[in-house]
C-alpha cells in the first residue's frame, strides 16, 4: 500500500512539473525523434523551440535541417546566430558546413577564414572556435585559431592545445615539437610534458610505445643547435634511460656533470641502474669516470669496490672465463681488502672474494678461512653475521662438509627463528637433507616452511615437498630422486656439465618416472647459468606444452617471458606475460607480469 502511494505521489509531481512547463513535452519529443533519426517529426518541434531559445536549441535544429537537406533554412538560422552573437565566431564553422554540402568551396573557405579573423582572443572564444573546427575534422583551421591566440597572447602560447590537435592528425613529429617548444618556453613544465608525451606516445603500439624514435631524434636535433639548454639534455637522459640506451645516457650525464661541476651523483645513480639491467660495460664506464675524479670524490671508495663487483658479475653471467682473468680479479680483491681493512667497506669485499674463490677458483678452504675470520670480527651486527654464516655454510656444503654446513644453518635458524633469514637457513637445512638422500626429513621440514612469512621460502618449500611426494610416493623406488638431488648439488657447485649428464641419466635409466617437468625446469636453470638462452627457452616451452597444469607451469611461463625480454623480443615477451595473466591467474607472478606487460605495451604506470 505504501509503495503504491509513493508511486502515485511521484506521478502527480511529474504531471505538475510538465503542466508548469508546457515546452517540456515538446523538448522530450524533439530529442527522442532526433535520437531515432525521425527528423521530419523532430523538425515540427525544433522550429518552435529554436524560436523561443535559439542559443540552447541551435545545434539540434541545425543537425535536423542538415539531415533533411534543408540548406536554405539552415543557412538562415546560422546567419541569425552569427548576427546575434558577435563574439562567438564559431557559428561560421556551421555556415561553412552548409556550403560544403552544396560544393560551394569558396564560400566554405571564406567562412572558416572569417571565423578566425573575427574571433576574440579571449581564451573561451578561441577554444570554442578551435573545438568547432576539431568537431568538423578541420584540424589545420583549429591549429591556425590557436596560432592567432599565440601571436596575441605571449603569456599563454597554447602549446598543449596545438599538440593535442597534431595528435588527432597523427602528426607525431609536430606534436612532439609543440611539447618541446613548451618546455623551452617554461622549463618548470618538464614533468607535465614528460607525462603528456609518455601518455601520447605510450599507447602507440606500432611505434613501440615510449620507444618511439621521434622524441629522441627531435631532442637530439635541438641539443645540437643549442647545447646550452640543460633542460633538453635532462629530458634526453630521461628518455634514454627509459629506452635502456644507457651508454647514450652516460654520454649526456657526463656532459652535465662536467658543465654543472657536479659531484658525480647522477653518474653514480646511472651506474647502479646499469648494473641492475646487466649493462656491465656502461656500468664500468660510469665507475671509471668517478674514479678519475680522484680520491677526494665522495664516490671514489664505493666506485673502487663496485667496479670489482661489476667484473665479478660479468664472470657470473659468462659461460666460462679463463683462469688467468679469475686470478687477476682475485688479486684486485686482495689489494682492495688490504686497502680497506680498517673500513666497514672491507666486509663486502671479503664476501665476494670468498664466492670467487669457492665457486670459480676451486679454493674453498681459503674462502672458508676468510669468512670464519669475518664472522669473528668485532662490530658486526647479528644480521650481518647471520648472512655470512649462511654463505659459509653454503661453501662447506659444496666442499662436502655437510655436518659443518648443517651446524651453521641450525645456528642461524635458532637465532632468527621467526624472521626471514632464519626461515631461509631452515630451508637450506632441508635442502641439505634432500641432497644427502634423507627425503623423509627434508619433506617434514619443507612442510613446516609452507607457512613461512617469506613468499619465496614458502613457495620453494612447497616445490620441494611436492617433488619428494611425487617422486617416491608410497613404496616407490627412490633412486631417480637420489640422482635428481645429486644433480641439484652439482648445480650448486657450478658443475653444470655433470649436472646435465646426471639429469639426462634419469631418463635413460628409468623409462617411467614423475620428474620429467622437474628435469626440464632444472636444465633451464643450468642453461641460464651458462648464458645459453635459446636452450633455456626450449626447456620452459617444453614444460608449458607438456605439463601446463603442473607445479612449474606458471614459473616456466613467467621465466620464459623474462628471457624473451632479455633477448629484446618484445612481442614474444608481451605475449608470454599476457599468458601468465590469462592462464595462471592465481600465480604469485601475476602482479609482476601485469606490470611488465604494461611497460612493454607502453602504458604510463608512474602512479
* Interval 155-206: pLDDT, tens: 899 999 999 999 999 999 999 999 999 999 999 988 899 888 888 876 444 4
Spatial separation of the C-alpha atoms in residues 510 and 181, rounded to whole Å? 71
- The model's confidence at residue 334, banded by pLDDT at 50, 70 and 90, is very high
Per the structure, the count of domains in the chain is 1
Distances (CA, A) of 451 to 330, 412, 447, 461, 551: 41, 19, 8, 9, 17
Spatial separation of the C-alpha atoms in residues 463 and 441, rounded to whole Å? 15
Integer Rg of the chain from CA = 36
Please say whether the beta carbons of 174 and 148 come within 8 A.
Answer: no
Judged against a pLDDT cut of 60, whether residue 16 lies above it is answered with: no
Q: pLDDT: is 492 or 372 the higher one?
A: 372
Rounded to the nearest integer, the mean pLDDT of the chain is 88
Tell me, rounded to whole angstroms, the distance of Cα 434 from its chain centroid.
Answer: 38
Express as a percent the part of the chain with pLDDT over 90. Answer: 59
Spatial separation of the C-alpha atoms in residues 530 and 536, rounded to whole Å? 10
Please say whether the beta carbons of 210 and 194 come within 8 A.
Answer: no
Chain segment 112-158, per-residue pLDDT in tens: 999 999 998 888 899 999 999 999 999 999 999 999 999 988 889 99
Judged against a pLDDT cut of 80, whether residue 6 lies above it is answered with: no
Domain for residue 558, yes or no? yes
- Quickly list DSSP for 216-281: HHHHHHHHHH-TT-HHHHHHHHHHHHHTT-HHHHHHHHHHHHHHTT--SHHHHHHHHHHHHTT-HH
Question: Average pLDDT in the 555-575 region?
Answer: 91
Domain housing 538: 515-607
- The model's confidence at residue 211, banded by pLDDT at 50, 70 and 90, is low
Question: Average pLDDT in the 325-354 region?
Answer: 91
What pLDDT is recorded for position 333? 95
Q: pLDDT: is 13 or 114 the higher one?
A: 114
Question: Average pLDDT in the 556-574 region?
Answer: 90
Spatial separation of the C-alpha atoms in residues 219 and 214, rounded to whole Å? 9
Of 109-113, 327-331, 444-448, 603-607, the poorest mean pLDDT is in 603-607
What pLDDT is recorded for position 378? 79
Torsion of CA 318, 565, 191, 160, to 10 degrees: 140
Output the nine-digit C-alpha cell for 67: 539531415
In degrees, to the nearest 5, what angle opens at C-alpha 121 toward C-alphas 120 and 122? Answer: 90
Domain for residue 536, yes or no? yes
Please say whether the beta carbons of 580 and 587 come within 8 A.
Answer: yes
Question: Average pLDDT in the 87-111 region?
Answer: 93
DSSP 8-class letter at 400:
T
Residue among 463, 587, 472 at smallest CA distance from 525: 463
Domain for residue 545, yes or no? yes
Judged against a pLDDT cut of 60, whether residue 282 lies above it is answered with: yes
Residue among 289, 286, 312, 291 at smallest CA distance from 301: 291
Domain for residue 585, yes or no? yes
Question: Average pLDDT in the 510-526 region?
Answer: 87
Judged against a pLDDT cut of 60, whether residue 238 lies above it is answered with: yes
Residue among 178, 153, 152, 151 at smallest CA distance from 164: 178
The number of beta carbons lying within 10 Å of the beta carbon of residue 313 is 16
- Quickly list DSSP for 403-465: HHHHHHHHHHHHHTTTSHHHHHHHHHHHHHHHHTT-HHHHHHHHHHHTT-SSHHHHHHHHHHH
Express as a percent the part of the chain with pLDDT over 70. Answer: 93
Judged against a pLDDT cut of 50, whether residue 4 lies above it is answered with: no
Spatial separation of the C-alpha atoms in residues 207 and 217, rounded to whole Å? 14
Q: Element (H or E) spanning 162, and its range?
A: helix 159-168
Judged against a pLDDT cut of 90, whether residue 104 lies above it is answered with: yes
Backbone region of residue 400 per phi and psi (left: phi > 0; alpha: psi in -120 to 50; beta: other values): left
In degrees, to the nearest 5, what angle opens at C-alpha 345 toward C-alphas 340 and 349? Answer: 85
Residue among 79, 27, 90, 37 at smallest CA distance from 57: 27
Domain for residue 226, yes or no? no
- Quickly list DSSP for 345-387: THHHHHHHHHHHHHHTSS-HHHHHHHHHHHHTSTT--HHHHHH
Please say whether the beta carbons of 252 and 275 come within 8 A.
Answer: no
Of 284-288, 493-497, 540-544, the poorest mean pLDDT is in 493-497
What pLDDT is recorded for position 240? 87
DSSP 8-class letter at 319:
S
Q: Supply the CATH number for residue 529's domain.
A: 1.25.40.10
In degrees, to the nearest 5, what angle opens at C-alpha 324 toward C-alphas 322 and 325? Answer: 70
User: CB under 8 Å to 27, separation ≥6 — which residues?
Assistant: 45, 49
The number of beta carbons lying within 10 Å of the beta carbon of residue 539 is 23
Question: Average pLDDT in the 216-243 region?
Answer: 89
- The model's confidence at residue 604, banded by pLDDT at 50, 70 and 90, is low
Q: Where are the alpha helices (DSSP H) in 169-211?
A: 172-185, 190-202
User: CB under 8 Å to 578, separation ≥6 — which residues?
Assistant: 593, 597
- The model's confidence at residue 12, banded by pLDDT at 50, 70 and 90, is very low
- The model's confidence at residue 43, banded by pLDDT at 50, 70 and 90, is confident
What pLDDT is recorded for position 606? 47
Question: Average pLDDT in the 391-405 region?
Answer: 92
Please say whether the beta carbons of 503 and 519 come within 8 A.
Answer: yes
Question: Average pLDDT in the 98-110 region?
Answer: 94
Domain for residue 584, yes or no? yes
Judged against a pLDDT cut of 80, whether residue 516 lies above it is answered with: yes
User: pTM of the entire structure?
Assistant: 0.73
- Quickly list DSSP for 475-542: T---HHHHHHHHHHHHHHTT-HHHHHHHHHHHHHH-SS-S-HHHHHHHHHHHHHHTT-HHHHHHHHHH
Judged against a pLDDT cut of 70, whether residue 305 lies above it is answered with: yes
Question: Average pLDDT in the 219-238 region?
Answer: 90
Judged against a pLDDT cut of 70, whether residue 266 lies above it is answered with: yes
Spatial separation of the C-alpha atoms in residues 311 and 356, rounded to whole Å? 11
Place of cell 638431488: 485
Domain for residue 72, yes or no? no
Please say whether the beta carbons of 296 and 322 come within 8 A.
Answer: no
Domain for residue 553, yes or no? yes
DSSP 8-class letter at 155:
T
Amino acid at each position: 500500500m505504501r509503495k503504491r502511494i509513493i508511486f502515485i505521489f511521484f506521478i502527480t509531481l511529474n504531471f505538475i512539473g510538465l503542466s508548469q512547463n508546457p515546452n517540456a513535452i515538446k523538448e522530450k519529443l524533439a530529442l527522442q525523434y532526433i535520437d531515432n533519426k525521425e527528423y521530419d517529426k523532430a523538425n515540427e518541434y525544433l522550429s518552435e523551440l529554436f524560436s523561443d531559445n535559439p542559443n540552447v536549441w541551435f545545434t539540434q535544429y541545425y543537425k535536423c535541417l542538415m539531415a533533411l537537406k534543408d540548406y536554405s533554412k539552415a543557412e538562415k538560422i546560422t546567419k541569425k546566430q552569427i548576427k546575434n552573437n558577435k563574439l562567438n565566431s564559431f557559428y561560421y564553422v556551421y555556415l561553412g558546413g552548409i556550403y560544403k554540402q552544396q560544393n560551394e568551396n569558396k564560400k566554405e573557405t571564406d567562412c572558416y577564414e572569417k571565423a578566425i579573423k573575427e574571433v576574440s582572443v579571449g581564451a573561451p572564444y578561441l577554444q570554442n572556435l578551435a573545438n568547432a573546427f576539431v568537431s568538423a575534422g578541420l584540424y589545420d583551421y583549429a591549429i591556425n585559431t590557436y596560432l592567432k591566440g599565440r601571436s596575441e597572447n605571449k603569456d599563454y602560447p597554447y602549446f598543449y592545445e596545438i599538440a593535442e590537435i597534431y595528435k588527432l592528425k597523427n602528426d607525431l613529429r609536430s606534436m612532439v615539437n609543440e611539447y618541446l617548444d613548451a618546455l623551452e618556453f617554461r622549463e618548470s613544465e618538464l614533468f607535465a610534458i614528460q607525462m603528456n608525451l609518455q601518455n601520447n606516445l605510450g599507447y602507440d603500439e606500432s611505434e613501440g610505445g615510449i620507444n618511439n624514435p621521434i622524441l629522441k631524434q627531435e631532442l637530439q636535433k635541438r641539443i645540437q643547435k643549442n647545447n646550452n639548454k640543460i633542460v633538453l639534455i635532462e629530458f634526453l637522459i630521461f628518455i634514454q634511460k627509459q629506452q635502456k640506451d644507457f651508454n647514450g645516457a652516460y654520454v649526456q650525464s657526463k656532459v652535465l656533470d662536467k658543465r654543472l661541476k657536479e659531484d658525480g651523483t647522477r653518474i653514480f645513480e646511472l651506474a647502479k641502474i646499469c648494473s641492475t639491467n646487466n649493462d656491465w660495460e656502461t656500468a664500468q664506464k660510469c665507475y671509471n669516470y668517478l674514479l678519475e675524479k680522484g680520491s677526494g670524490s665522495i664516490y671514489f671508495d664505493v666506485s673502487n669496490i663496485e667496479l670489482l663487483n661489476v667484473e665479478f658479475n660479468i664472470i657470473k653471467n659468462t659461460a666460462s672465463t679463463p683462469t688467468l682473468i679469475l686470478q687477476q680479479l682475485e688479486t684486485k680483491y686482495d689489494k682492495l681488502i688490504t686497502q680497506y681493512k680498517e673500513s666497514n667497506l672491507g666486509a663486502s669485499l671479503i664476501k665476494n672474494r670468498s664466492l670467487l674463490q669457492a665457486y670459480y677458483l676451486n679454493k674453498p678452504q681459503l674462502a672458508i678461512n676468510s669468512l670464519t675470520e669475518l664472522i669473528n670480527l668485532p662490530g658486526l651486527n647479528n644480521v650481518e653475521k647471520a648472512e655470512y654464516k649462511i654463505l659459509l655454510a653454503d661453501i662447506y656444503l659444496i666442499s662436502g662438509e655437510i655436518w659443518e654446513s648443517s651446524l651453521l644453518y641450525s645456528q642461524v635458524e635458532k637465532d632468527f627463528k621467526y624472521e626471514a633469514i632464519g626461515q631461509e637457513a631452515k630451508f637450506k637445512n632441508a635442502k641439505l637433507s634432500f641432497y644427502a638422500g634423507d627425503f623423509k626429513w627434508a619433506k617434514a621440514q619443507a612442510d613446516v616452511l609452507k607457512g613461512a612469512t617469506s613468499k619465496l621460502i614458502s613457495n620453494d618449500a612447497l616445490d620441494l615437498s611436492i617433488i619428494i611426494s611425487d617422486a617416491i610416493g608410497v613404496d616407490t623406488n627412490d633412486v631417480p630422486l637420489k640422482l635428481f638431488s645429486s644433480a641439484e648439488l652439482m648445480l650448486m657447485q657450478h658443475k653444470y656439465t655433470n649436472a646435465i649428464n646426471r639429469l639426462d641419466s634419469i631418463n635413460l635409466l628409468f623409462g617411467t618416472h614423475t620428474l620429467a617437468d622437474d628435469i626440464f625446469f632444472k636444465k633451464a636453470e643450468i642453461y641460464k647459468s651458462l648464458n645459453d638462452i635459446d636452450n633455456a627457452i626450449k626447456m620452459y616451452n617444453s614444460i608449458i606444452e607438456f605439463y601446463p597444469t603442473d607445479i612449474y607451469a606458471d614459473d616456466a611461463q613467467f621465466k620464459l617471458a623474462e628471457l624473451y625480454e632479455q633477448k629484446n623480443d618484445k612481442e614474444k615477451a608481451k605475449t608470454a606475460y599476457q599468458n601468465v595473466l590469462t592462464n595462471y591467474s592465481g600465480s604469485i607472478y601475476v602482479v609482476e607480469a601485469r606490470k611488465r606487460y604494461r611497460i612493454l605495451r607502453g602504458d604510463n604506470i608512474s602512479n
